[in-house]
């Protein structure tokens, strides 16, 4: 599987009906400036489905929006599953679309992880199983809306996760830092980890909110589900890390010296 095929797992807002701005609810908090119910268009959504404050989301109190990643589910639902028919034309279909979107988003997130696993040299021993799971997951997104709504996402995620865990073990087995073969402390909120050697660690689901990770070595580290909100990654080395997403990077702080995997880019708010 080539790296080029990952493009359909990246957001294409030009071909989406602003689904993340309508379908998803959020509560007023540090990440959102006001409350919004599911199915209610955000007041910042323009008639052309673009965000009126997109370039200034963080300063306007919408850090949650700036960090959000649909993994290409927006255009899949808008242009493929609903064939270009937007939610404004049919109220009944609109609610169905809003329920379909988060399911497809989760499936596309799984596809992102599986794609990365398939393009990881260390996972060659399980490439066949990964490929089968990728195809199975892709097929789930190509069903009718009615069938998509009946998918047991939790059950399917569990099957995917088994392969991602095996991939993680294979990747991290190549590291010299044997002390981090197992996942470390779950709660590292605000932890002082400047310059820490975390190479080969499993940080799956670890809370790293506002952690100081400046100049930390995060190579070959499993970062799936790690919460990097306001974590400082300035000067940190994340090359070779696995299962890191753009959403996690967008939620963190960093600078021009932060080293990221090639599939990800430095956010505009990084200096």
Q: Is 151 exposed, middle or buried (0-12, 13-18, 19+ CB in 10 A)?
A: middle
Domains of the chain: 3-171 (no CATH), 177-271 (2.160.20.80)
- CA–CA separation, 190 and 230 (whole Å): 9
Cα distance between residue 110 and residue 26, in whole Å: 23
Q: Judge contact between 27 and 35, C-beta under 8 A.
A: yes
Contact of 256 with 242, CB cutoff 8 Å: no
- The two structure tokens encoding residue 71: 């993994």
pLDDT tens for the chain, 271 residues long, are 544 568 899 999 999 999 999 999 999 999 999 999 999 999 999 999 999 999 899 999 999 999 999 999 999 999 999 999 999 998 889 999 999 999 999 999 999 999 999 999 999 999 999 999 999 999 999 999 999 999 999 999 999 999 999 999 999 987 755 565 555 778 999 999 999 999 999 999 999 999 999 999 999 999 999 999 999 999 999 999 999 999 999 999 999 999 999 989 999 899 7
What does pTM read for this prediction? 0.92
């Amino acid at each position: 599987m080539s790296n080029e095929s990952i493009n359909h797992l990246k957001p294409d807002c030009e071909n989406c009906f602003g689904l993340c701005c309508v379908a998803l609810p959020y509560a007023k908090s540090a990440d959102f400036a006001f409350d919004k119910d599911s199915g209610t268009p955000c007041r910042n959504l323009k008639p052309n489905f673009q965000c009126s404050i997109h370039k200034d989301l963080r300063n306007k109190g919408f850090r949650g929006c700036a960090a959000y990643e649909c993994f290409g589910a927006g255009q899949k639902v808008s242009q493929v599953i609903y064939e270009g028919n937007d939610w404004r034309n049919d109220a009944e279909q609109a609610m169905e679309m809003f329920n379909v979107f988060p399911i497809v988003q989760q499936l596309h997130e799984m596809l992102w992880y599986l794609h990365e696993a398939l393009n990881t040299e260390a996972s060659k021993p399980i490439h066949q199983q990964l490929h089968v799971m990728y195809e199975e997951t892709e097929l789930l997104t190509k069903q009718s809306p009615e069938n998509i709504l009946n998918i047991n996402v939790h059950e399917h995620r569990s099957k995917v996760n088994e392969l991602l865990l095996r991939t993680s073990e294979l990747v991290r087995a190549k590291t010299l830092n044997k002390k981090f073969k197992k996942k470390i402390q779950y709660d590292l909120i605000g932890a002082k980890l400047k310059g820490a050697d975390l190479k080969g660690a499993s940080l799956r689901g670890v809370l790293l909110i506002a952690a100081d990770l400046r100049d930390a070595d995060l190579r070959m580290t499993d970062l799936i589900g790690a919460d990097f909100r306001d974590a400082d990654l300035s000067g940190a080395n994340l090359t070779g890390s696995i299962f890191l997403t753009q959403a996690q990077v967008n939620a963190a702080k960093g600078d021009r010296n932060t080293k990221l995997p090639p599939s990800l880019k430095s956010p505009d708010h990084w200096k």
